[in-house]
Structure 1
Amino acid sequence: MEPLGRAQVLLQCDLCQSTVLQSHCEICQINLCRDCVGEHLSDSSQRHNVIPYKYRFPAPYYPKCPDHNTHCEFYCEECDIPVCSTCKSSDKHHGHIFTDVLKKVHSKRKELEHDFEELEVRINPTFEEITLDFNSEKTKFENHYENLTTAVTEQEKNFQREINIIVKKQKSEIDEMKNKHLVALNEHSEEIKHITSDIKQSILDLKKILDSDDVSLISAYKSRNDEFRCLPPKVNVSLPRFSPNQIDTEQLHQTFGSLSAISITKEAHSNTLETPEAASCPQAKPLLDAAEVITSIQTKFTILQNVSCLSDNEIWTHGMENIMKLYNLRGEIIKSIKTQSGNNPRDITVTRNGDLVYVDIEISTVNIVKNKEIQEIIRVRGWKLHNICGTTTGDLLVTMDSDFREHARVVRYSGSTEKQIIQFDSNGKSLYSHGYTKDIVENRNLDICVADYEAKAVVVVNQAGIFRFRYTGHRPFTSEPFDFIGITTDSQSRILTSDRRNNCIHILDQNGQLLLYIDNCNLHLPWGLSVDNRDHLFVAECHSHRVKKIKYT
């Protein structure tokens, strides 16, 4: 754009020289007013590319010829260099093929834009994802080794506990044997003391008799020497001994537990990423003539609203309650998470890292669940948040209405940072209706697709937010109004949207052309949609409280 000064000159159309210009043809490098655009495009002798004037590139800068100091207006295809008119007619470039340097630059610019888009949209995010995965794996292995150390320490405590029990038991047995030994010795000692006392008394009695001439004492004396000659039995005790077993190290290791061997391998990526065309068009999966229900899961919600695939075998769900539940395909609840505020979640999604994210419309926040802990990542004022989805680059797309429901928009967030606002088309008209829910999904081709319930339409813009198409259904199918309330997309960039009033699913191609209806699976008020990695469709039925897994390819 031209720099603004204190006084501005109104630029005029190059064709009519009278009207203020509004557009610019990149190919012809001329400025046009609204009325002259049609006249300019009517010249079919050459290609045109008319864009709004403010988006034009600056006037082309022609390189100077190093030999003749003039502008190089031609490009030698043979030498792959810009050349001036003098060089073009010289013998040096005799017989070579020349093109207009601006056309060549335009072609090169397209290549640059292609490379830039691929680097920014695919290659760099892929390497960022690899880095995230690596860091995640690093954290996992650090936690694993910490858990290993904890397990070994716990086993050490177990062994120590068992050893303490053995030692305590044997010490108790030693004390018991010692007490028995002491009792036996004390009894023997008392017996000897008693006999010794009798012997001493006999000595005193004999001495008294011998010192007396009393005949009666002498005649009454009875000898006890035969009794005393019988010595008391000796107490023999076989003292206990402790015989420690030799420690068998190998057996101890086996009893204690063993570590499996570490195995380090490298799983090679392909040498190059697929081209964007190949990436956006995996092997085609034709649509079935008649879709079929593979599994039906009964949930515990009174009103079921949304479903989001965590994997091919696990799905997150929520309804009109302040809780979100993870089910497996057997209908078992694996995990339940209550919202932090106690409010009902408006919408849920699963990030590329497998984290659950939900919208709290009452307090206008977006929250992420990591290891059962809830973290607030986005909070807005003046807007009511509705629906959310993750993108291939890790961003979040959020639909919202202003508090007074006068405006509606889509906002792209990187973490908690606002990166992009999508609200108006090229004519300044609002892309989305204000009011009720607007489910959102990023297509595989990076289009942003919104099921606008109030507008009864699917609105699709490209990654830059430029309007692509609006799908409003086909009347021959039904006379009832269309209620597009849920939306998802599959590996073929097909867009699937739930039509709640007509109990069916509309399947569109990436350009908005209707391909098929799924209306034969006994659907009853279908709401939220999600597709797993195998292109199986999961449908949340509002009042039956069921999630149906449907095969349609």
Structure 2
Amino acid sequence: MDPHTSAQDVMRCDLCETAVVQMHCDTCLVNLCKACVGEHMISDESKKHDIVKFKLRKTTPKYPGCTFHAKERCEMYCNHCDIPVCINCIASDQHKGHTFLKILQVLDERKNKIMKDLTELNETIYPTYQDIASDVQNRMSKLQKKYGDLSTAITKHGEDWHREIDKLVQKLKAEVDEMKNTHLQTLQKDLDEINKTMSDIKDEIDSNDVIVNENDISKLFSVTYDLSRYRNLPEKIVPSLPKFTPGRIGEELGKLFGTLSSSSLTSDKHGYSMKTIQKSPEAGSSPPVKQLLDQPETVTTIDTGYDEYLLNVACLSDKKIWTCGNGNTMKLFSINQGSRLKSIRTKSGYAPYDIAVTKSGDLVYTDYIDSTVNIVKNEKIEEVIRLQNWKPMGVCSTSSGDLLVIMVSDDDKQTKVVRYSGSTEKQTIQFDDKGKPLYSSGHYNRYITENRNLDICVSDEEARAVVVVNQAGKLRFRYTGHTPAPKNQPFSPRGITTDSQSHILTADYNNDCVHIIDQDGQFLRYIHCGLSKPMGLCIDTNDNLFVSQWLNRQVKKIKYLQ
């Protein structure tokens, strides 16, 4: 068997390009087989090559080079000068009488300090700013409602008057709008500053995570520690609403109709307190608002090479997608090049029903015939869930790291959604408040996704509906298509996904299009782009849509948001 064309690719030696990787040079970052280690060692004798087993790659510390003695590396640390030093530095008069430590000991201390700061940023500071942002948004929403109630009260009182006071009604409402806008603008500015700080914190977390993982001492020494600017929380701005005081009819018109009290904004330095509970960074962040394009456009098309049909698609990254179709092989493709990068065969030998990618980048697939849910880690397949008397269908990975699986009973009479944490069942969603089934029964296509607002969205082919429940499993709405349909065919929902705007997108197999609805089930528009029998959907981090097509076995990348 040709190792370059076999169905399941493995890492190859960077030198001979044929043998399987066994070793790694941490100095040159080169993958090697055992036979090529010697050749690599003599290829550049000016370097000290740190050869380790492949699984231990990137564990060798990267000692900084000495600035005073060329080709020497600093393995010690001068406490007096607070700098790394080499063996020649220690012997020099410059460091005479100084005390020294092994640099790895200092490295551990620095790492511990960075990890402590990262813990505070992740578990305390960033979640606090998330809650602050959420609090400001909630108060803005309540402020909108209260100002709306105020306008309604003025309007209701104005109905008791005749036409001659209409101008006065409009004048007072305009004052309310001006006060409202002033308050909202102030709170929006406050929210923008909070979101900017949250972005800075997230950048610092990501940057320090990379530095710690790289084990690069020079970079570790370049990290500065100043969290005081994040610990000093912003002041809490609290608007003071005006009051409308209606007057009695019969006196001077302006005074009788009523007046508005003045409004104000105050700041409370102690309005917020630091949180200690760790939360997911995605939970409180607000994505930038994106508008739908007037004309969605196809960016690229990928031929997957399946023999009969293509089922589903899942985004591994903005550059790679997983696909599944007829047969037992799941394929990984490069989006830009359209080339196949890897193939994985299912553990049972049966075709996968659905695929998804976890937050950590692992591939998950459901095996309907084998009644299992499996995860692929480092090209090894692990059985996560084995069902009894049920068959798994659609699967998705949630923002919390759980798995949502929609399944049908062996006798095709029941359908339910189950939430798993690892292999542990945490939640079952099957019936509405009246005890009626939320989903249709029978062997029909059903796929599942989680919206940004944590709603659970299911495409139910037999019911010809998208069924959306909240995180607790309570029914929010059913979307049963839009009239007129592009081909005047019954709504036939298949793959389903969501984007950063909390839009819900579902493939309509019968009408060769994708429906876009908002988070409350309101139809927004269709995506056509020459689609033919669309089946699976997924969204990358830039809100590009990927559509798998059943018969022509192609995946289309579509841009539909500005």
Return the TM-score normalized by structure 2: 0.53
SS of corresponding position for 1:272 = helix
User: Per-residue CA shift, 1:16-45, capped at 9, x if unaligned?
Assistant: xxxxxxxxxxxxxxxxxxxxxxxxxxxxxx
Q: Please state if 1:480 is matched with 2:489.
A: yes
1:154 to 1:450, Cα distance in 2 relative to 1, 3 A: same
Matching of residues 311-460 of structure 1 within 5 Å: 311-329=317-335, 330-435=337-442, 436-460=444-468
User: Per-residue CA shift, 1:255-288, capped at 9, x if unaligned?
Assistant: 6658965699969768424345683641100000
Find the aligned partners of 2:429 and 2:383 in 1 and give their Cα distance.
23
Q: Given residue 559 of structure 2, which amino acid in structure 1 is its aligned partner?
A: K
Counterpart in 2 of 1:289?
294
1:254 to 1:540, Cα distance in 2 relative to 1, 3 A: same
Find the aligned partners of 1:504 and 1:159 in 2 and give their Cα distance.
55
1:155 to 1:341, Cα distance in 2 relative to 1, 3 A: closer
Q: Given residue 456 of structure 1, which amino acid in structure 2 is its aligned partner?
A: R
Find the aligned partners of 1:144 and 1:463 in 2 and give their Cα distance.
48
Matching of residues 77-116 of structure 1 within 5 Å: none
- Structure 2 runs not aligned, ≥5 long: 1-22, 51-60, 65-106, 138-194, 196-283
SS of corresponding position for 2:484 = helix
Find the aligned partners of 2:293 and 2:44 in 1 and give their Cα distance.
63
Counterpart in 2 of 1:299?
304
Alignment length (residue pairs): 322
Find the aligned partners of 2:44 and 2:351 in 1 and give their Cα distance.
57
Matching of residues 511-522 of structure 1 within 5 Å: 511-519=520-528, 521-522=529-530
Q: Given residue 439 of structure 1, which amino acid in structure 2 is its aligned partner?
A: Y
Which of 511, 515, 539 matches 1:531? Answer: 539
Which of 266, 272, 276 matches 2:126? Answer: 272
Counterpart in 2 of 1:549?
557
Find the aligned partners of 1:152 and 1:477 in 2 and give their Cα distance.
59
1:477 deviation in Å? Answer: 3.0
1:474 deviation in Å? Answer: 1.7
Contact 1:281 1:492 in 2 (8 A): no
Contact 1:328 1:334 in 2 (8 A): yes
Find the aligned partners of 2:484 and 2:420 in 1 and give their Cα distance.
40
Find the aligned partners of 1:395 and 1:307 in 2 and give their Cα distance.
20
Contact 2:24 2:30 in 1 (8 A): no
Contact 1:155 1:256 in 2 (8 A): no
1:253 deviation in Å? Answer: 5.3
Counterpart in 1 of 2:202?
none
User: Per-residue CA shift, 1:479-515, capped at 9, x if unaligned?
Assistant: 3100001100001111000101000111011000011
Q: Given residue 432 of structure 2, which amino acid in structure 1 is its aligned partner?
A: D
SS of corresponding position for 1:552 = strand
Contact 2:24 2:32 in 1 (8 A): no
Q: Given residue 272 of structure 1, which amino acid in structure 2 is its aligned partner?
A: Y
Matching of residues 173-184 of structure 1 within 5 Å: none
Find the aligned partners of 1:514 and 1:430 in 2 and give their Cα distance.
24
1:298 deviation in Å? Answer: 0.8
SS of corresponding position for 1:292 = strand
Find the aligned partners of 2:555 and 2:36 in 1 and give their Cα distance.
45
Contact 1:280 1:492 in 2 (8 A): no
1:280 to 1:437, Cα distance in 2 relative to 1, 3 A: farther
1:158 to 1:382, Cα distance in 2 relative to 1, 3 A: same
1:256 to 1:298, Cα distance in 2 relative to 1, 3 A: same
Find the aligned partners of 1:252 and 1:383 in 2 and give their Cα distance.
60
1:475 deviation in Å? Answer: 2.3
Return the TM-score normalized by structure 1: 0.54
Q: Given residue 334 of structure 2, which amino acid in structure 1 is its aligned partner?
A: N
Q: Given residue 288 of structure 1, which amino acid in structure 2 is its aligned partner?
A: L
Matching of residues 108-127 of structure 1 within 5 Å: none
Q: Which has the higher contact order (CA 8 A, sep 6+)?
A: 2
- Structure 1 runs not aligned, ≥5 long: 1-141, 163-250
Q: Given residue 543 of structure 1, which amino acid in structure 2 is its aligned partner?
A: L
1:503 to 1:148, Cα distance in 2 relative to 1, 3 A: closer
1:149 to 1:484, Cα distance in 2 relative to 1, 3 A: closer
Contact 2:494 2:506 in 1 (8 A): yes
Find the aligned partners of 1:260 and 1:397 in 2 and give their Cα distance.
42
Counterpart in 2 of 1:495?
504
Q: Given residue 550 of structure 1, which amino acid in structure 2 is its aligned partner?
A: I
Q: Given residue 297 of structure 2, which amino acid in structure 1 is its aligned partner?
A: E
1:252 deviation in Å? Answer: 9.0
Q: Please state if 1:505 is matched with 2:505.
A: no
Find the aligned partners of 1:157 and 1:394 in 2 and give their Cα distance.
44
1:255 to 1:363, Cα distance in 2 relative to 1, 3 A: closer
1:291 to 1:149, Cα distance in 2 relative to 1, 3 A: closer
User: Per-residue CA shift, 1:387-438, capped at 9, x if unaligned?
Assistant: 1000011110000111111111000011111110000000000000012121
SS of corresponding position for 1:502 = coil
Contact 1:460 1:469 in 2 (8 A): yes
Matching of residues 58-69 of structure 1 within 5 Å: none
Find the aligned partners of 1:260 and 1:145 in 2 and give their Cα distance.
8
1:456 deviation in Å? Answer: 0.5
Coordinate RMSD, CA, aligned: 3.1
Percent identity, please: 50
Counterpart in 2 of 1:463?
471
1:152 to 1:430, Cα distance in 2 relative to 1, 3 A: closer
Q: Which moved more, 1:273-282 or 1:291-300?
A: 273-282
Find the aligned partners of 1:523 and 1:284 in 2 and give their Cα distance.
27
Counterpart in 2 of 1:173?
none
Find the aligned partners of 1:483 and 1:525 in 2 and give their Cα distance.
10
Q: Please state if 1:254 is matched with 2:41.
A: no
User: Per-residue CA shift, 1:336-379, capped at 9, x if unaligned?
Assistant: 00011110000000000000011110010001111111110100
Find the aligned partners of 2:387 and 2:365 in 1 and give their Cα distance.
14
Q: Given residue 531 of structure 1, which amino acid in structure 2 is its aligned partner?
A: I
1:544 deviation in Å? Answer: 1.0
1:255 to 1:391, Cα distance in 2 relative to 1, 3 A: closer
